[in-house]
């Protein structure tokens, strides 16, 4: 999936986090979104090093 971008909602935990990690392992860049930005933090730290994205931000249901 090199050169692709995956947008994963609910990426802070559970299936969303697993999907984000799967896409990263497959070579995609991943945009992670979750209503609970504090829980998204550990996911962002573990994935920022490999895809170079910025820090997580809070997203409302309307924004996602």
Q: How far apart are CA 3 and CA 56, in angstroms?
A: 21
Using one digit for the tens of pLDDT, what is the confidence trace for 5-16? 888 888 888 999
26-55 residue pLDDT tens: 999 888 888 877 777 755 544 444 444 555
In this structure, the number of other CB atoms found within 10 A of the CB of residue 53 comes to 14
Query: How confident is the model at residue 33, as a pLDDT?
Result: 81
Q: How far is CA 5 from CA 18, 32, 33, 38, in A?
A: 16, 11, 13, 23
Q: How far apart are the first and last CA of the chain?
A: 23
Q: Is the pLDDT of residue 2 over 70?
A: yes
Q: Which two tokens stand for residue 38?
A: 């504090």
């Amino acid at each position: 999936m090199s050169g692709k971008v995956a947008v994963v909602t609910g990426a802070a935990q559970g299936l969303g986090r697993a999907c984000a990690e799967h896409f990263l392992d497959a070579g995609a860049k991943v945009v992670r979104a979750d209503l609970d930005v504090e829980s998204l933090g550990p996911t962002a730290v573990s994935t920022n090093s490999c895809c170079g994205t910025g820090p997580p931000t809070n997203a409302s249901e309307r924004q996602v």
